Amino acid sequence: MPNSIPGVAAVVASGVIVLALLAGCSAATPVPPGATDTEVDAYIASKLNSYWQSIQSGRLTADGHFEVPEVSTVAFTTPDTWATVQTSCLQAAGLQAREISGGFTIDDPGDLDATAVSTAQWTCLRQYPVDPR
């Protein structure tokens, strides 16, 4: 079995936490019934901003903000398809990712450092979120 890189377990665990948030387990700001794709997209973006800040800690811009990449939703997923879609997205980003137990793991980051791995994961989460409706 390939060696997993240090810190990826934390990244994967964070992804699972984000999945839980996007799956509607957070009661803080529920998505209203009948929400449009635009409303859901704004909800997902707000949830992922906190995750982005956690993976980019210490990387503030000159004006003291976290620079969030402009990434759009490509397609919504379901809890059943999420891991498969995330794995495919991460593989397209050059990572050796595979599904395990309803989630995924990254076995080899290739030439990417931990920040690049986290950024690739965040990008995939943003492009293919679980639809919280």
Predicted TM-score of the model (pTM): 0.66
**What pLDDT score was predicted for residue 88?**
97
64 in a structural domain: yes
How far is 24 from 4, CA to CA, in rounded Å? 30
User: Do residues 97 and 12 touch, judged by C-beta distance below 8 A?
Assistant: no
Which helix (H) or strand (E) covers residue 99, if one does? strand 96-100
Q: In 3-state terms, the chain is what percent helix, strand and coil (to 5)? A: 45, 10, 40
36 in a structural domain: yes
Query: For 39-43, what is the mean pLDDT?
Result: 88
Q: What angle do CA 127, 115, 97 make, to 5 degrees?
A: 60
Q: Tell me the C-alpha to C-alpha distance, in Å, between residue 52 and each of 95, 99, 133.
A: 19, 23, 23
1 in a structural domain: no
pLDDT in tens, 61-94: 566 666 677 888 999 999 999 999 999 999 999 9
Domain extent, residue 31, equals 8-127
Total structural domains within the chain: 1
3 in a structural domain: no
pLDDT in tens, 1-26: 444 444 444 444 444 444 444 444 44
Tokens 């635009």 sit on residue: 38
133 in a structural domain: no
User: Do residues 84 and 47 touch, judged by C-beta distance below 8 A?
Assistant: no
How far is 26 from 39, CA to CA, in rounded Å? 16
38: number of Cβ within 10 Å:
9
27 in a structural domain: yes
122 in a structural domain: yes
132 in a structural domain: no
Number of Cα atoms under 13 Å in the Cβ half of residue 36: 3
